[in-house]
Structure 1
């Protein structure tokens, strides 16, 4: 291990108690003790890149997503076949009865009974059983473990969290112009509304004053426990934006999950005269791109049929969400997330008022660089940047 203080190469004996034997200074994390990737130099480098070298403030949850060493996600499955205990509980008594019948009788009946007993045993032994599996997802290190390390060992050694990182479990410092609820509001009437369903993303936007910079109002309708589902969030979203004029465009930020995929189309259906830009994490990107955080829920908020018909998702994306998989928007790199919001608000302001026969919906990884007229043609064989998908699929990422 490299000492984060003096850059000396240390063996296990030379760093007992997280104390460097060369320079005599303490460090916070030891990969041999705290797990793979838990190293001061690595965590500090991740924090510097995530904050754009101090320009941005990020939350501890965002740093945890970026610092993960492993991410696994498995879908649930139903049990198949008959358990061995039940098979033999039935097969053995039946076989024993057939053998007894063969012994007590003779002739053809004895042969048939013996053959039936053998067949019963063979069938019972050849049957297979696959136990059921509940949905499971894991990020290594676990969130609470990472929080304890950063607020404990790291803060004890360095006097606080890395520069630019704020603990979202505590009140996040508000920039000037923020109201008591924490939402940054412009001095003049807002030109757009940013509807955010992720608390961590809302805190990130607030801490950096992004809504105020864009002359937009931040409307947070986060479902903290993730169990209330689409109807509650949709009702809260419609109620929140109803207080603003109908001409105010809305940018929707959401996770790649059933609730998020359905939110923008349902808002657009409820208020067809309002510009609604879907700036959430696209399901196709969460499903296909390497390095994306993938999680799974035990409760499925929508089935694949709803996602195909209402949200207009492709079959593969709808099935992926229908199995319980999802991906958090907060795991997106902070600099990318900032650019997403800026471009989405600019697009919403430049878009014309929709008619009853058209709707505006673009995932942030499929946006063109500038709004185009529907009549604009594209050269054959080309496509917008970011619309390609990886051929390699999977539900695990490092």
Structure 2
């Protein structure tokens, strides 16, 4: 590997204890020890690009997504075949009964029960069972491992995280305009609301003062997962928005997952007179783009039929979510994410307020390029669409 201190090429013996044999200086990461891609120079370059050379602050979660060496996702599968315990629980008593019958019968007729007993045992041993599997995905290195390396080895060597990177677990530094207690000065009359379900994205926006710059209020709602996930998030979102005037435009930021795709249409169904801009990561981009983080998990809300009817997703996107796949918004490059939020708020402010009989949900986000020309269909996951009669499920 290349020494991040003196750029000398080091063999394994020349970097024992993560100390360069040429310059004698310590470095933080060794790919041979910490895994592929875990190298000081690579992590530093990724951080510089992500922060736009110091212009932005990013969270450690965002750096983790960008620094991953591999990610994969696998859909769930149903169990096939008969479990071994059940097979032998049936086959052994049957074989024993047939053998007993052969003993009692005697003579040539005993061959038939013996043959049947052997056949039962052979069939039981030849049958195979494939257990069911829930959808699952993984990112390498794991988040816990990456955080431990950055807060441990990296911070010990360089005195802290890379420049512009803040730890999600710590309070995020507030931008200019914050009061002495560290809290943002509330706006008396914000022009828009930014509703976000991802904590890393919320902290990213806060650390860079994006809501204040746009004269918008930032509302964070928990990204709950479980049978009661959707009602909980929807109720939390409506409760938070109730603190502001009914005509306040709302920009919704969410992952490309069932809960996120349903949130904006459900808000429209409850509050049809509010302008709602869906600036979440579109499923079409997450499903088809190279380089996008794709994961999988068991999600009780992953109902393809509901996603088609309520969220208006095309068949391919709804089926992808229904199989348990999803993609995190925090994995979007920070510069792109900043641009998307700014444009989404601008579109929300420019959109006409809908009539009580018509709910407007403006789809917006593209990844990783800038938004394309608005269209009247959401088949590609971009553009603007008008949904009438949106109802909650």
Equivalent position of 1:283 in the other structure:
283
Structure 1 range deviating more: 133-142 or 16-25: 133-142
**Aligned residues: CA RMSD:** 2.7
Equivalent position of 2:49 in the other structure:
49
Equivalent position of 1:15 in the other structure:
15
Matched, 1:361 2:362: yes
Tell me if the contact between 1:186 and 1:212 (Cα under 8 Å) persists in the aligned partners: no
Tell me if the contact between 2:280 and 2:329 (Cα under 8 Å) persists in the aligned partners: yes
Using the size of structure 1 for normalisation, the TM-score is 0.86
| 1:240-259 alignment, distance < 5 Å | 240-259=240-259
Equivalent residues, number: 378
Distance 1:183 1:278 in 2: 27
| 1:1-398 alignment, distance < 5 Å | 1-105=1-105, 110=110, 112-178=112-178, 189-223=189-223, 226-227=225-226, 229-355=229-355, 356-357=357-358, 359-365=360-366, 368-369=371-372
Q: Please, which runs of 5 or more residues in structure 1 have no aligned partner?
A: 388-398
Using the size of structure 2 for normalisation, the TM-score is 0.87
1:278-321 alpha-carbon deviations (Å, 9 max, x no partner) = 00011222222232223333452342222222112223322332
Change over 3 Å in CA distance of 1:362–1:53 after alignment to 2: same
Offset at 1:37? 0.7
Offset at 1:384? 7.9
Distance 1:267 1:181 in 2: 33
Tell me if the contact between 2:295 and 2:325 (Cα under 8 Å) persists in the aligned partners: yes
What secondary structure sits across from 2:218 in the alignment?
Answer: strand
Distance 1:316 1:181 in 2: 49
Tell me if the contact between 2:365 and 2:382 (Cα under 8 Å) persists in the aligned partners: no
Distance 1:127 1:226 in 2: 37
Distance 1:258 1:362 in 2: 15
Offset at 1:240? 1.2
Offset at 1:61? 0.9
Offset at 1:76? 3.4
Distance 1:233 1:92 in 2: 53
Change over 3 Å in CA distance of 1:368–1:53 after alignment to 2: closer
Equivalent position of 2:390 in the other structure:
none
Structure 1 range deviating more: 88-97 or 209-218: 88-97
Distance 1:384 1:113 in 2: 65
1:201-225 alpha-carbon deviations (Å, 9 max, x no partner) = 01100100111111211111133x6
Offset at 1:200? 0.9
Q: Please, which runs of 5 or more residues in structure 2 have no aligned partner?
A: 384-393
Equivalent position of 1:395 in the other structure:
none
